[in-house]
């Protein structure tokens, strides 16, 4: 990972600290002006012409001079081995870039969380009052997946209950796991998870959008749920009432076009009401075991089966089709969002190519808009 220059990091941190400048407004500023430097050198009139930036926000930007807070954060980052991830940089999580409301700057402590190769990211969330049914399911699921998917990464929120159980099960089975925090990296909440948080930094890590010494706000824990949903291909809800943080994460996942999965529970039990509702309303796929999850996401174990679909004889692909086939063959199975980034084609053009290749029997579409070649 490239070392960020101090001047650049100062501007990145500063932009996140300006009152009323949230992630979406920050993106508008950067998209309109082209760089951080341009944002901080723009006149009030230039700023006010940008969508979502009125006189008040323009005044906050021009008049912002809290360099002390920025310098304190830079010192903390450097002294504690923390990595910063800015959304315009290559090392920013690719899936998060597709989400309009995710943070422009993240703080991370741990092992390399976003390797260049393709990995299978799974977010697991649920109630803080997990039962033995939910706990046993999480342990069994990750134990069954671990031997077959060395590229699996588990994401959760380090909260009590299902979150903590998911992190622990991942560690027990040698799976890297990322904890998304609702506070800065200078503390761990709940305190009972300090030991597991230390272990995660050696086998995954901790991720947050918040600066250190930031006063904890209950809303921060709800806001971090969008990062949990945005990082992964799919979110699995294990035990949740109809209302709660896990259901917020589920809504985030659906809004981002990600796959949603849920463990069914006993009818009439509050603790499973949310999961059952997601399944009943066809928002989530029903998951009772590793095989269900693999089928829902189009994941395949290393033992491959002979394809039943035979390519059309004497079919010669166009140059664009050949390029798409090459990407799918190299990275298969590949999800549609990753294919869009790799192919660098307009979405309408890519959809037309995929449809043609399916018709010719060259590729097949798996559940969740995941693609693979037939040979």
Q: Domain segments of the chain: what residues? A: 6-79, 120-297, 319-373
Cα-only R_g, the chain:
22
pLDDT score for 331: 66
Report the alpha-carbon distance of residue 318 to residue 356 in Å, rounded: 11
What kind and span of H or E run contains 258? none
Report the alpha-carbon distance of residue 105 to residue 16 in Å, rounded: 7
Neighbours of 307 (CB within 10 A): 13
For residues 363-371, average pLDDT? 80
The torsion angles phi and psi of 85, rounded to 5 degrees, stand at: -125, 110
What tokens does 24 get?
Answer: 């979406």
Summarised one tens digit per residue, pLDDT across range 21-51 is: 999 999 999 999 999 999 999 999 999 999 8
Least confident of 33-37, 59-63, 235-239, 357-361: 357-361
Q: Which residue has the higher pLDDT, 6 or 260?
A: 260
Report the alpha-carbon distance of residue 337 to residue 71 in Å, rounded: 37
What tokens does 19 get?
Answer: 């009152």
Distance of alpha carbon 239 from the chain centroid? 21
Report whether pLDDT(277) > 90: yes
pTM: 0.81
Pairing of strands 152-156, 177-180: parallel
Q: Which residues contact 366 (CB under 8 A, 6 or more apart)?
A: 298, 333, 372
3-state secondary structure of 181: coil
Report whether pLDDT(116) > 70: no
Report the alpha-carbon distance of residue 156 to residue 250 in Å, rounded: 12
Long-range contacts of 134-140 (CB under 8 A, 24+ apart): 134/161, 134/162, 134/165, 134/238, 134/239, 134/263, 135/162, 135/165, 137/238, 137/263, 138/162, 138/165, 138/166, 138/169, 138/238, 139/165, 139/169, 139/172, 140/289, 140/290
Q: Please, which pLDDT band fits residue 300 given cuts at 50, 70 and 90?
A: confident
3-state secondary structure of 86: strand
For residues 135-145, average pLDDT? 97
Quote the mean pLDDT of the chain: 89
Looking at domain 120-297, its CATH architecture is 3-Layer(aba) Sandwich (3.40)
Q: Which CATH superfamily is domain 6-79 in?
A: 5' to 3' exonuclease, C-terminal subdomain (1.10.150.20)
pLDDT score for 272: 95
pLDDT score for 316: 79
* Residue 2, CA distances (Å) to 28, 80, 112 in order: 25, 17, 12
What kind and span of H or E run contains 301? none
Report whether pLDDT(227) > 70: yes
- Alpha-carbon dihedral sign for residues 256, 262, 267, 273: negative
**319-373: CATH number:** 1.10.10.10
pLDDT score for 118: 65
Q: Please, which pLDDT band fits residue 6 given cuts at 50, 70 and 90?
A: confident
pLDDT score for 274: 97
pLDDT score for 366: 80
Report the alpha-carbon distance of residue 59 to residue 166 in Å, rounded: 45
Summarised one tens digit per residue, pLDDT across range 156-212 is: 999 999 999 999 999 999 999 999 999 999 999 999 999 999 999 999 999 999 999
3-state secondary structure of 278: helix
- State the DSSP string of 119-148: -EEEEEEE-SS--HHHHHHHHHHHHHHTTT
């Amino acid at each position: 990972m490239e070392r960020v220059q101090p001047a650049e990091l100062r501007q990145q941190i500063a932009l996140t600290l300006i009152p009323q400048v949230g992630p979406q407004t920050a993106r508008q500023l950067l998209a309109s002006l082209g760089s951080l430097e341009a944002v901080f050198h723009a006149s009030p009139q230039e700023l006010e012409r940008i969508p979502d930036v009125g006189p008040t926000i323009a005044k906050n930007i021009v008049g912002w001079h809290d360099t002390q807070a920025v310098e304190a954060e830079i010192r903390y980052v450097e002294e504690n081995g923390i990595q910063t991830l800015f959304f315009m940089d290559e090392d920013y999580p690719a899936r998060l870039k597709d989400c309009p409301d995710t943070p422009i700057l993240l703080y991370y402590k741990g092992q390399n969380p976003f390797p260049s190769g393709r990995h299978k990211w799974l977010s697991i969330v649920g109630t803080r009052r997990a039962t033995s049914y939910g706990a046993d399911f999480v342990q069994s699921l990750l134990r069954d997946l671990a031997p077959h998917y060395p590229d699996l990464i588990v994401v959760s929120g380090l909260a009590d209950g299902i979150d903590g159980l998911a992190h622990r099960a991942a560690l027990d089975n040698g799976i890297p796991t990322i904890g998304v925090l609702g506070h800065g990296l200078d503390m761990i909440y709940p305190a009972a998870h300090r030991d597991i948080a230390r272990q995660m930094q050696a086998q995954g890590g901790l991720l947050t959008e918040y600066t250190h010494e930031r006063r904890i706000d209950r809303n921060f824990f709800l806001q971090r749920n969008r990062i949990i949903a945005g990082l992964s291909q799919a979110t699995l809800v294990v035990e949740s009432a109809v209302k709660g943080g896990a259901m917020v994460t589920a809504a985030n996942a659906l809004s981002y076009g990600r796959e949603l999965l849920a463990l069914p529970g006993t009818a009439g039990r509050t603790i499973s009401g949310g999961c059952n509702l997601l399944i009943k309303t066809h928002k989530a796929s029903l998951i009772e075991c590793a095989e269900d999850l693999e089928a829902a996401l189009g994941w395949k174990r290393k033992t491959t089966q002979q394809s039943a679909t035979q390519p059309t004889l004497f079919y010669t692909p166009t140059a664009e089709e050949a390029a798409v086939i090459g990407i799918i063959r190299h990275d298969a199975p590949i999800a549609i969002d990753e294919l869009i980034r790799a192919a660098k084609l307009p979405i309408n053009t890519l959809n037309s190519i995929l449809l043609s290749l399916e018709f010719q029997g060259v590729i097949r579409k798996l559940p969740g808009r995941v693609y693979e070649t037939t040979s």
